[in-house]
Structures are given as C-alpha cells and as structure tokens.
Amino acid sequence: MDVYQLSVAANFTAIPQYASLDIGLFQSHIMANVGVTTQCAYINAEGDSVKIFFYSKLSDAEKTIINNLAAIHAPDPPYIQLDTFSPQITSVTVPTFVSIGTYLWHNMTYPIRKIDIVSYMSDNATSFSIKLIYRSTNTIIAQGTFSNSTFDINSITSISYVPTQKGLIDIDVKVDGVGKKTATISDIIIWGF
C-alpha cells in the first residue's frame, strides 16, 4: 500500500474558514478523475495531516493531479433552512404558467442558495415547470423543469436573482403532456447559507 501525504493548510487552499475538509467528497473526486488510475483505498485526516492510501504506487503525474484536486477542493457549505411555503393551490392541470400562490419574502440575513420543491406529476404528464418571481421587479429568482411521477424533492440550485428587500414572491407552475395531466406541489423549502 502506498501513502501520499498532504497538508490541509498548504494543499487545500480553497477551503473557506467556515468549512472543513470533506474526506468523502475529496476521495470521490480522486476516484472520478480519469488521470488517476491507481485505486484509492481510503483517506485519513488528523489535524493538518491528510494521508491518502492507495493500493499501489502513484505516478508523478497522478500526484500532480491529486495536488491540483486538493488546491480546488471546497466542500459544499452547510445550508440553513430559511423558510417553508405551502401553496394555496397544490395541483395544476394546464400547459401555461398559472400562479399557485404568493409568498412574503422577508429574510434579509441569508441569500437564497437552493430551493427544494416537494412535488410529483401524474402519468399522463411529460414534465412540469416551476418558476419563482420577485413581484417588486418582476424578476425570475429561479426556475426548473422536472419529470418525477412519484413524490420527490426536486432541487433548484441555479438562483438567478436574490431579493435584497422585503417583497412578494409569486410561484408559477405549468404541466405538459396529453389528456388529463396534473402536477402537484406540496411544499417549497427555501435554503440559504
């Protein structure tokens, strides 16, 4: 077994102060990189020392790739649940956007970073779309299209606009498909960090 050692302070320079090394995420990045063909057995981190155990000896090229992966490694920040919204209308049957509710945005402490939509569609539907619009400026905050036919949590992480003032957010939904089709939204959970 070959051991390659790194330093958190010297090698993992992209990790912000609020975060720590995510060993599982870093190991998955090593294993997913096509330039590292030597199989990684496990990683042990203790204090500033990070020991990466491989089943066979690493090449110099593989060491360079691992150093580069360490330099850009930044774990996802912890999310903080900002609010949960349960729409007034939970089911939509039309292929054009209709409002399912309005939500009062009042959290100025943390910016929106992710929106989870607890939802599903009927068998005749091919997809459903949702968009959140900041009413004061008529600006789309986030939008996504999904196709799950059982209840699931669909996440939107591409946030195009973050409101900086208290205001109303409209939630619009449409469903595409043939015949009798329905998209059902039970909850919308807004996350920040």
**pLDDT number for residue 17:** 62
**pLDDT number for residue 77:** 67
**Chain segment 35-53, per-residue pLDDT in tens:** 899 999 999 988 889 999 9
Closest CA to 1 of 32, 40, 35: 40
| Domains 2-72 and 80-192 equal at CATH topology level | no
Give the containing element (helix H, strand E) for 91: strand 91-92
Residue 18: is its pLDDT beyond 60? no
| Domain ranges for the chain | 2-72, 80-192
Residue 19: is its pLDDT beyond 70? no
Q: Give residues with Cβ within 8 angstroms of 34, minimum separation 6.
A: none
Confirm if 73 and 15 have CB atoms less than 8 A apart.
yes
Confirm if 118 and 189 have CB atoms less than 8 A apart.
yes
Helix segments in 42-126, DSSP class H: 60-72
Residue 55: is its pLDDT beyond 60? yes
Find out if CATH 3.30.1490 is the number for domain 2-72.
no
pTM over 0.75: no
The two structure tokens encoding residue 85: 């919204």
Considering the domain 80-192 in this protein, what is its CATH number?
2.60.120.1340
| Amino acid (1-letter code) at residue 4 | Y
**pLDDT number for residue 76:** 67
| Strands 112-121 and 183-192, sheet pairing | antiparallel
Does residue 81 or residue 4 have the better pLDDT? 4
